[in-house]
Amino acid sequence: MNAPRRLIEDDECSNELRAWLSRASASPAIPPSVGSRLAAYSAHLVAGGIATAALGTGAAEAASAGAGSSSVGIAEAGAGSSSVGTKVILSFSSATLGTKTAIISVLFSSMVGFGYVASAPLFIHRSAVGASQVQSSPSSEATVLRQTRSRSVEAARVSPEAQNHAAAQEPTSSTRSSPRTTGTATSRITEPLPGQEDDSGALSGEARVLEAARASLGSAPDRALSLTEEHARHFPRGQLGAEREFIAIDALIRLGRRAEAWERARPGLEGAPDSLYAKRLRTLLGEPAP
Amino acid sequence: MTALSDLDHQSGVSEVAFPTVAEIYAMHGDFLWKSLHRMGVPEADLPDAMQELLLVVHHRISTYDGQSKLTTWLFGIGLRVAATARRKVRRRRETDLDEGVELEATTHRELDGAEAVERRVVERDAERRLNEALESLQPEQRVLFVLYEVEQRPCSEIAELLGVPVGTVHSRLHTVRELFFAALARIEKRERSRTGGRT
């Protein structure tokens, strides 16, 4: 089947329709003011991010993400898997990143309207921590630099062969605790969308519970575990089940309940053993199964 | 205009096992923003929808296994976020009165002659019907329609974005177009019945 002739070029189409199509403009770009807030928001997520915590090998990462002329820098210093909630600096000026001066940014004050900040840990103070290596990008352009990458990230690097594989992984695991590999992208795009039946606030609610759980991991892993149970109870068909399981497993390890952690991780490890999720689990679990 | 096929190559993200959401935003933020708009998220709601999308990406990045293009994977998440955002908008509209439109028409009526006003009202009615027909499409159908019919992107680019063969894009375009015209016909029929055939 060939591509249909574009409506705007089709003389048989009504003038109204063709005029409407020609008036419809291309989608707008992100306004700079919104762009900088979104960059700050994503930087904030990374600062307290699960990915870094899960991979925590003691390596420090520095990343800067900018939008337009502004840049947002983050430095995070982690020590083992307890890197959640460590010292973070946020600044619009890359020049300040190299200093040891503690900086409190007013960044988050501009994010109040976004609604999620209140539920997430705020740590916008930086001090010299361990082997933290903070480097900044000299460029004000939107660049991302990873100065130091943890060994586990390197180990989990995706092979080009894997990337060329035609099958696409369904990003939603729903009630399962492990990511699943299903059909092709073709089937994914035409299937009813998981979560469509959910209330509009459900996803945000899910994320908030998990943010709270993740934030508790370092100081109160038992609370983190309870929150993951809350999540499972309130969102039995939630979209963030895989992440919930990851947090729960992390909490079990911190509580010294390694056997339970392994048992809980088993579906994720066996379901798709070569997936990044499974590799991430193995990194978290560390040693061979007890 | 940046070719969709260039997006992953430009970013180099495909070489990184775990791109952070900040990296993804820096490299693909504009693409995601535009995609949400193409999927039917109103401009005023884009910041909220985008934030929601970033949050979901942050939580789901561990499930990205690199087997599909990162942009395709992100696009799939965008579809879900857009569907949620559109439901919110629909609910809001159900509770809103269309006072703004009436007020605007009154103002024009006062300023212009009756003929000009009538012409503008007719044009606006046509536009409203077409917008409603577009609105009736599902986000994934709508984005296909917008990419091809409004932005006039080549099918090869659209295929790459959706992660499907070009032939599938062609067949879906035919289907989406049929859905669009069927919706338009329904809307026109409904309005004719309301006005007793006086349209």
pTM of the entire predicted model: 0.48
Count CB-CB contacts under 10 A for residue B59.
Answer: 27
pLDDT for res A78: 29
Q: Quick check: helix, strand or coil at residue A193?
A: coil
pLDDT (tens digit per residue) in A163-194 = 333 333 333 333 333 333 333 222 222 233 33
Q: CB neighbours of B96 closer than 8 A, spacing ≥ 6?
A: none
Q: How far apart are CA A224 and CA A214, in angstroms?
A: 6
Residues of A whose CB is below 8 A from B80 = 172, 193-196, 203, 239
pLDDT for res A271: 77
* 3-state SS, one letter per residue, for A116-168: CHHHCCCCCCCCCCCCCCCCCCCCCCCCCCCCCCCHHHHHCCCCHHHHHCCCC
B17: closest CA among B79, B65, B57, B86? B65
State the smallest CA–CA distance between residue B79 and chain A in angstroms.
8
pLDDT for res B95: 65
Q: Tell me the mean pLDDT in the region A117-132.
A: 29
Is the per-residue pLDDT at A103 higher than 60? no
Q: CB neighbours of B15 closer than 8 A, spacing ≥ 6?
A: A157
Q: How far apart are CA A19 and CA A7, in angstroms?
A: 11
Say if residues A261 and A177 touch (Cβ distance below 8 Å).
no
State the smallest CA–CA distance between residue A255 and chain B in angstroms.
23
pLDDT for res B112: 57
pLDDT for res A109: 30
First to last CA, chain A: 57
pLDDT (tens digit per residue) in A24-43 = 766 788 888 888 889 888 88
pLDDT for res A252: 93
Which residue of B20, B149, B162 is in closest CB contact with A51? B20
Say if residues A48 and A214 touch (Cβ distance below 8 Å).
yes
Q: How far apart are CA B167 and CA B158, in angstroms?
A: 11
Which of A81-85, B99-103, B153-157, B188-192 bottoms out in mean pLDDT, i.e. has the lowest?
A81-85
Q: CB neighbours of A268 closer than 8 A, spacing ≥ 6?
A: A177, A178, A179, A242, A245, A246, A277, A278, A281
ipTM over 0.90: no
Judging by beta carbons within 10 Å of its beta carbon (0-12, 13-18, 19+), is residue A236 exposed, middle or buried? Answer: exposed
Is the per-residue pLDDT at A59 higher than 60? no
Is the per-residue pLDDT at B14 higher than 80? no
The DSSP secondary structure of B61-125, one letter per residue, reads GGG--SSS-HHHHHHHHHHHHHHHHHHHHHHHHHH---HHHHHHHHHHHHHS-HHHHHHHHHHHH
Is the per-residue pLDDT at B39 higher than 80? yes
Which residue of A2, A34, A162 is in closest CB contact with B66? A162
Mean pLDDT comparison of A51-65, A270-284, B160-174, highest-scoring range: B160-174
pLDDT for res B103: 40
State the smallest CA–CA distance between residue B45 and chain A in angstroms.
12
Of A2, A15, A25, A42, which to mutate for an interface test with B (greatest number of B Cβ within 10 Å)?
A: A42
Is the per-residue pLDDT at B180 higher than 80? yes
pLDDT for res B17: 52
pLDDT (tens digit per residue) in A251-284 = 999 999 989 999 999 888 887 777 767 777 888 8
Confidence of residue A229 (pLDDT cuts 50, 70, 90): very high
The residues that bridge with A91 in the sheet, in sequence order, are A73
DSSP strand pairing (A61-67 vs A88-91): unpaired
Residues of B whose CB is below 8 A from A46 = 20-22, 58
The residues that bridge with A275 in the sheet, in sequence order, are none
Which residue of B37, B68, B84 is in closest CB contact with A27? B37
pLDDT for res B69: 83
- Mean pLDDT of the residues in chain A: 56
pLDDT for res A68: 30
Q: Which two tokens stand for residue B155?
A: 């099918």
Residues of B whose CB is below 8 A from A173 = 63
